[in-house]
Amino acid sequence: MPIIYLSPSTQEFNYYVNGGTEEYYMNLLADKMVPYLDASGIRYSRNTPDMTAASSIAASNAGNYDLHFALHSNAAAGDQAGKAKGSIVFYYPTSAPGKRAAELVADGLKTIYPDPNLVRTQSTTTLGEVAKVRAPGILLELAFHDNPEDAAWIKNNLDEVARILVLALTEYFDIPFFETENRRPGVVDVNWGKLNIRARPSTDSPILTQAPDGAPLTIINTANGWHLVNFNGTIGYANADYITLL
């Protein structure tokens, strides 16, 4: 199953025009993403508010992540200060996976941002959390926190933004999206061999581990004849025909 490095802003001194900070609201957004990540089987590590961009990059590079996802809000300079609006998703120009992830996130945000024409992707070689991470990286500037309308939109739509972001991630990783967990106990029920636990709900998908007959596991969700399961700490998909619900 995929694993991401989730990196909400650590910029505690970037104040919103209507109160609060970038660090606070981007960490709140990450908090709201977590239930959707858990329900959809996307594993994650996450930075902490006492870290910096540099230490977040180092932590990401110390692991083996499928995507580095940085969450930020924006502010404009000069005569655009307080006037600019919109969402930008940054990616590294030579990273095809990063570009695809950025486009999926932007497409999702276009469905909820007031003016879809102001949502775009942009390549960059200067943002560290895109240019210096080992995994494909994207950095979201959700909206402009120095603009009263954008700042209000961020605060009023964090739940829906979190849902849209994780939905985009499931599309990127080609796995089903689930709103909530539906945990139930189950047991492997095969008459031969072992049950394959796979990375995706397909017999063509890589096998992560195997569970013997009678082994207990936890079913997290179900879709199209496949259970998303947790077997001894490994999360993956198993054919529902070979699991008995308890």
Q: What is the pLDDT of residues 69-85, one digit of tens each?
A: 999 999 999 999 999 99
- The pLDDT of residue 135 is 98
Distance CA 120, CA 21 (A): 24
Average pLDDT over residues 159-177: 98
Q: What pLDDT band is residue 240 in, cutting at 50, 70 and 90?
A: very high
- The pLDDT of residue 211 is 97
Q: Is residue 33's pLDDT more than 90?
A: yes
Average pLDDT, the chain: 97
Average pLDDT over residues 184-195: 94
- The pLDDT of residue 25 is 98
Distance CA 89, CA 100 (A): 11
CATH of 3-173, one of 2.60.40.3500, 3.40.630.10, 3.40.50.2000, 3.40.630.40: 3.40.630.40
Residues 106-139 pLDDT 10s? 999 999 999 999 999 999 999 999 999 999 999 9
Average pLDDT over residues 189-210: 95
> Where do the domains of the chain lie?
3-173, 184-245
Q: Is residue 19's pLDDT more than 90?
A: yes
- The pLDDT of residue 147 is 98
- The pLDDT of residue 66 is 98
Q: What pLDDT band is residue 62 in, cutting at 50, 70 and 90?
A: very high
- The pLDDT of residue 192 is 86
- The pLDDT of residue 209 is 98
Q: Cα dist. 149→95, 156, 165 in Å?
A: 33, 11, 21
CATH fold for the domain made of 184-245: SH3 type barrels. (2.30.30)
Q: What pLDDT band is residue 29 in, cutting at 50, 70 and 90?
A: very high
- The pLDDT of residue 242 is 96
The residue with tokens 């919103």 is 16
Q: Is residue 23's pLDDT more than 90?
A: yes
Provide the percentage of residues in the chain whose pLDDT is more than 70: 100
Residue 118, C-beta contacts closer than 8 angstroms, at least 6 positions apart: 85, 86, 87
- The pLDDT of residue 191 is 87
Within this chain, domains 3-173 and 184-245 share the same CATH topology: no
Give phi and psi for 241, each to the nearest 5. Answer: -65, -20
Give phi and psi for 55, each to the nearest 5. Answer: -70, -30
Dig out the tokens for 125 from the structure.
């070689």
Q: What is the DSSP string of 55-89?
A: HHHHHHHTS--SEEEEEEEE---GGGTTT---EEE
Residue 141, C-beta contacts closer than 8 angstroms, at least 6 positions apart: 72, 73, 74, 87, 88, 89, 90
Q: Is residue 181's pLDDT more than 90?
A: yes
**pTM, whole model, 2 decimals?**
0.95
- The pLDDT of residue 99 is 98
